[in-house]
Amino acid sequence: MSETRLAATPALGQHLTPPSEPAVAEDPASAFAHFFRHLQGERMASAHTLAAYRRDLGYLAELAREQGLATLTPQDIRGMVRQLAARKLSGRSIARILSAWRAFYRLMSRDFQWPLNPVDGVRPPKSPKRLPETLVTDAASGFLDALPDDEPLACRDKAICELAYSSGLRVSELAGLRLADLDLVQGEARVLGKGSKTRLVPVGRAAIEALRRWLLLRPQLAMSNAATVFVSQNGTPLTTRAIQLRLQHWQKVLGLPDPLYPHKLRHSCASHLLQSSGDLRAVQELLGHASIATTQVYTHLDFQHLAKVYDAAHPRAKKPDEDETPQVK
């Protein structure tokens, strides 16, 4: 069997291209290849997920250097964490990298009987929790109302923004939405989310109207074989990057003071729905979160809103210098 070996210190973030030969425990390149086949075959990982794992395993290949991957210890992994932190990677980024490494070693232990998972018990450095950025309700409505729809690209962009805010879709879900998955009569869309899981989401009235206007204009741009709802001016499926750039374009055109991006519309949808309904499970289902713990971040946003309202309105919440000095009679 010919061997294809992974360079001991690939450039940071270099994609690890899986070789085609069967994996063997002693060969790092083949071990990585086996892991990628597992991601594609058993877990049906998306291209975006595969790219993220390649980047994260690139750190492992680089930091391990000449040391065999199967012989690394928790002490070695902690040393790597310190090196990553020294490069100014955030705690969240290091946590993601450790999760990828942990999954890799778990599979190696299962399939090749590697002696231990050296990542188990290794924690990333703590970093401050960042709450999702959202638009206030009036700002979201004002932005969507201000978007023009007088020509095909603007009409398309308005439909994208209305759908993102209406149904809380990820940018990858917006780009991948197919015509066959959209039912405007019933007001729903079938969405392919993370882990190739599908879910049915409602589509609001304003989004339905915007989508109908766009679908009337879509044949002017779309190639005959284009299956996605949103296409570029060349008629090909719109990419996630193109959607991000179009929102940046409208932020500048409309003179919005804060950055605008697809996930902000998704966050805004979740936050406003939770404020109105208080139904955390419904928001979890809408967003396609595997764990409700992920959805619970929006309860913190809801509490922040409540706290601001309380501080502004409750007579016993005002600071002494904000209220008149009481008169004792």
For the annotated catalytic residues, the residue numbers are: 170, 194, 263, 266, 289, 298
Which residues lie across from 237 on neighbouring strands? 231
DSSP state, residue 284: H
Angle at 190 between CA 180 and CA 288, to 5 degrees: 155
Q: For 106, what's the count of Cα atoms within 13 Å in the CB-facing half-sphere?
A: 9
Q: End-to-end alpha-carbon separation of the chain, Å? A: 98
CA distances to 63, 97, 187 from 112, in Å:
22, 22, 49
Q: Hey, what long-range contacts does 97-101 have (CB within 8 A, 24 or more apart)?
A: 97/56, 97/59, 97/60, 98/122, 98/123, 98/124, 100/52, 100/53, 100/56, 100/57, 101/56, 101/57, 101/60, 101/77
DSSP state, residue 238: P
- 327 CB-contact burial (10 Å; exposed 0-12 / middle 13-18 / buried 19+): exposed
Q: Tokens 């308005």, residue?
A: 158
Q: Cα 213 to chain center, whole Å?
A: 28
**How far apart are alpha carbons 50 and 58 in whole angstroms?**
12
Q: Which two tokens stand for residue 40?
A: 């594609």
